[in-house]
């Protein structure tokens, strides 16, 4: 098998705060094969956005990577300088679709000015095209074609319009076109359907799935909605309190979730929920994480050993990994 496009292992990251060092990520593991869509799931405050920022190299000041690696096409992104990330990675080899399309575009510049400027800096040189004017013309033609592909009406006229002239769904389509404009190998989508209504959300999900296949790219899709994961993602990684707790093929994880946290999240989905209570307790503060398993204080199945030592990954099926003490003891009990 070929090496995964994105491979994150033993990732530990802390941030200096006024109250001390906050351990935001703790031994995170994530693997994204080529040509697949991986859903990254968890409650707010579980470290999903921080992990994305680490991949893009846009961590806040005071953030320190304590251990681990982020291999992208067999190159450790943590070893690259800011200049290398800006020139060779962000926007070119890794595209990004932001969460809020209303805030992502500058209201004082036309859509064409903004998207074409990204292409001018990050798009690969078109073969056989020389000269500044010829490159600009090529970029404009490619962008118009992408806008047509993401189902924007009258794509030629769109470039001269301003963001306020588009609906939320249309703006998100503009952002998808912008993410694909520089021919990336990986697209990171940070909850791109959160600000959209249900009908538009479904349209965007279908569009993303078709574009991944058409352009032969991989996608890391950050979300808190298992319904979205079921519709879109090939694989899933569940995070809790800065740790990876379960990962595997989407169908296997949804059909037979092994970690108590994954089970609790699925039980909160409207299709399965028995009440509106949700999961008792809250995600622990990264300033004062509990010893052992971080989910143990909220887990109805916790045993004494869960609070004494951190669990280790156990494979419960083909590619289905669970980071839980209970999963470790199952083979012995059998």
CATH number at residue 88: 3.40.50.300
pLDDT of residue 273: 64
pLDDT of residue 1: 58
Supply the pTM of this predicted model: 0.93
In a domain, 189, yes or no: yes
* H helix intervals, 260-313: 260-267
Q: Which residues of the chain have pLDDT under 50?
A: 331-334
161-200 pLDDT tens trace = 999 999 989 999 999 999 999 999 999 999 988 878 888 8
221: left (phi over 0), alpha (psi -120 to 50) or beta: beta
Beta partners for 223?
Answer: 41
pLDDT of residue 279: 87
What is the extent of the structural domain holding 16?
6-93+184-329
Last residue of one domain, picked from the residues 162, 183, 204: 183
pLDDT of residue 276: 64
pLDDT of residue 23: 94
153 and 281 fall within a common domain: no
299 and 192 fall within a common domain: yes
Listing DSSP states for 31-83 in one string gives: EE-TT-EEEEE--TTSSHHHHHHHHHT-PPTTEEEEEEEEEETTEEGGGS-HH
């Amino acid at each position: 098998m070929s090496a995964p496009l994105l491979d994150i292992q033993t990732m530990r990251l802390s941030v200096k705060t006024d109250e001390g060092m906050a351990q935001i990520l703790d031994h995170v593991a994530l693997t994204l094969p080529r040509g697949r869509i991986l859903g990254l799931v968890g409650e707010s405050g579980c470290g999903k956005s921080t992990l994305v920022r680490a991949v893009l190299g846009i961590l806040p000041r005071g953030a320190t990577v304590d251990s681990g690696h982020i291999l992208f096409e067999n190159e450790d992104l943590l070893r690259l300088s800011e200049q290398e990330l800006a020139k060779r990675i962000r926007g070119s080899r890794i595209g990004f679709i932001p969460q809020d399309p209303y805030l992502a575009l500058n209201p004082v510049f036309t859509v064409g000015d903004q998207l074409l400027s990204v292409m001018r800096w990050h798009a690969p040189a078109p073969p056989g095209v020389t000269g500044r004017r010829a490159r600009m013309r090529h970029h404009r033609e490619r962008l118009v074609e992408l806008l047509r592909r993401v189902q924007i009406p009258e794509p030629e006229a769109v470039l001269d319009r301003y963001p306020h002239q588009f609906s939320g769904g249309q703006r998100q389509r503009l952002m998808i076109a912008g993410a694909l404009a520089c021919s990336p190998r990986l697209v990171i989508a940070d909850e791109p359907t959160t600000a959209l209504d249900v009908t538009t959300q479904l349209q965007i999900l279908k569009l993303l799935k078709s574009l991944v296949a058409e352009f032969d790219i991989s996608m890391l899709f950050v979300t808190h909605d298992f319904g979205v994961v079921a519709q879109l993602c090939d694989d899933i990684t569940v995070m809790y309190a800065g740790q990876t707790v379960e990962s595997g093929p989407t169908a296997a994880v949804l059909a037979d979730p092994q970690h108590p946290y994954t089970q609790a999240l699925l039980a909160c989905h409207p299709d399965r929920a028995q009440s509106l209570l949700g999961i008792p307790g809250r995600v622990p503060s990264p300033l004062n994480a509990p010893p052992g398993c971080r989910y143990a204080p909220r887990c109805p199945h916790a045993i004494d050993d869960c609070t004494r030592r951190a669990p280790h990954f156990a494979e419960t099926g083909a590619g289905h990994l669970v980071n839980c003490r209970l999963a470790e003891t199952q083979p012995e009990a059998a």
